Structure 1
Amino acid sequence: QTPCFRREKASAGRDTRGIKRVHQFNKVEMYQFVEPETSNDDLEKLVDDAEDVCRQLGFTYRVLALSTGDMGFASSKTYDIEVWAAGCQEWLEVSSCSNCTDFQARRSNIRYRAEGGGRPRIPHTLNGSGLALPRVIIAIMENNQQPDGSIIIPDVLRPYTGFDVIPAKAS
């Protein structure tokens, strides 16, 4: 897990309460150095890895290709993965996966030499968030809450939680 911080601090309003948009949160970061010739295919695999977690958790999700105006300045291509949160009736971004081509490697002076030898080459870098944990928790709770207030634990998490249901709080 990596602690992450948002630049903007929320000031007021409905969208600033709770864990949906916190100043500090944890996420698992995925980072790869890849061959320049395969970086676009490798980005698709990275996105599929993040999608696989969404599928296993039973989320309704979508993948959006960002326009250049919405991407970070280092990225050549970026996808956002958003999950549907039934309770707040909105899509929550849980992952962003980018191909930064050789931008980050050049700035960091990173080189590699192919197995057969030859001249040093500059790798392409891919990065993505494995899934932002607060928003994943929101989606699990909102999408699995039962009419009585209990929450069904997704099958894939049961070996880790040791239980199937979070019971409703007695009133």
Structure 2
Amino acid sequence: MDIKEIQNLIKFVAKSGASEVKLEMDDVKITIRTGSDSNEVTYVQQALPMQAAPMPQAAPAAAPAAAPATEAAPAAPAADDNSKYVTVKSPIIGTFYRKPSPDKPLFCEVGDSIKEGDTLCIIEAMKLFNEIESEVSGTIVKVLVDDSSPVEFDQPLFLVDPS
């Protein structure tokens, strides 16, 4: 089980309203508890012969959750510097894709003119591919996310010049 699957499981449990979920597989034991005060506690244990291995396994699980928060902070001042641009943000958590499939062309590139309703990208969330459409007409000024990268809710994806 990789980090993305664990993160998706945590999100699913949080949305489901369950107070506790335990998952045990051959080499992984996961317990997710949610409380009424909306605190989430997650325990991840990797069953390995060495005792030091569970601690490093828990650290990477926490690191990806912290990394998007630090990435989102620098993006906000960039949007302030370019106040004449409209920022297209991610409506969901998932994986950002610029093409409908690996052998197809990009939905849009820097300098492309777009209209309201044009598909800008796809975000995959829990094996569902969600087309993200433009809410404004204009020109793509900057793509803020790399292809096949994880994105968070409300993370800036594109800068669009509406003029």
Q: Shared topology, TM-score over 0.5?
A: no
Structure with greater proportional strand content: 2
TM-score normalized by structure 1?
A: 0.25
Higher relative contact order (CA 8 A, sep 6+): 1
